[in-house]
């Protein structure tokens, strides 16, 4: 969905981003990816940590674009907005992250389930790939928001 469509649907609101906000989110990404890699944690918690990193990265893109998700379902909104900023090539990533959101919700709110090491490894790899895309995108479009 475009930013205009999400604004009209009242799923986004305008937001003035700042470098300290982006820096805090990038630190969260680093922390969450670290926790996702800790093999002594359960696969469930590792998956949740990797998802949290990916969500923070998508939040960076939305915030840097001048928006903030509002209301219930903000994870869905963030993922829907990702291609609006990064382009159509991010559509598949957003779809995959939305599937991960469903699994994360089931793990947190329904019952712990069998998350495989392969699922965790893939989500970590996708979060790291997204981090590279987000940093390159920030460098090109919003270098003033990058931490020094």
Q: What is the pLDDT of residues 6-16, one digit of tens each?
A: 999 999 999 99
Q: Which whole-number Å values give the CA distances from 126 to 92, 96, 120, 121, 144, in the listed order?
A: 11, 9, 10, 9, 26
Nearest to 58 by CA among 108, 93, 15, 100: 93
Is the pLDDT at 111 greater than 90, yes or no? no
pLDDT of 80-91, one tens digit each?
999 999 999 899
Task: For the chain, give every domain's residue range.
Answer: 3-143
Is the pLDDT at 109 greater than 80, yes or no? yes
pLDDT of 16-75, one tens digit each?
999 999 999 999 999 999 999 987 778 999 999 999 999 999 999 999 999 999 888 899
- Residues forming beta bridges with residue 14, ordered by sequence position: 67
Q: Quote the pLDDT of residue 83.
A: 94
CATH architecture assigned to 3-143:
Up-down Bundle (1.20)
Q: Quote the pLDDT of residue 77.
A: 95
| CA gap 101, 41 in Å, rounded | 19
147 band by pLDDT with thresholds 50, 70 and 90: confident
Q: Quote the pLDDT of residue 34.
A: 94
Is the pLDDT at 113 greater than 80, yes or no? no
Q: Quote the pLDDT of residue 144.
A: 96
């Amino acid at each position: 969905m475009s930013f205009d469509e999400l604004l009209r649907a009242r799923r986004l609101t305008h937001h003035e981003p700042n470098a300290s906000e982006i820096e805090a989110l990038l630190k969260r990404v680093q922390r969450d990816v670290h926790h996702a890699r800790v093999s002594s944690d359960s696969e469930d918690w590792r998956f949740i940590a990797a998802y949290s990193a990916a969500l923070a990265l998508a939040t960076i893109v939305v915030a840097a674009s001048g928006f903030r998700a509002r209301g219930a379902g903000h994870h869905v909104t963030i993922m829907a907005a990702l291609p609006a900023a990064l382009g159509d090539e991010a559509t598949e990533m957003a779809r995959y992250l939305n599937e991960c959101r469903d699994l994360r919700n089931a793990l947190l709110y329904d019952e712990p389930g069998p998350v495989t090491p392969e699922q965790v490894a893939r989500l970590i790899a996708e979060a790291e790939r997204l981090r590279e895309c987000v940093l390159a995108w920030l460098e090109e479009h919003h270098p003033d928001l990058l931490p020094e």
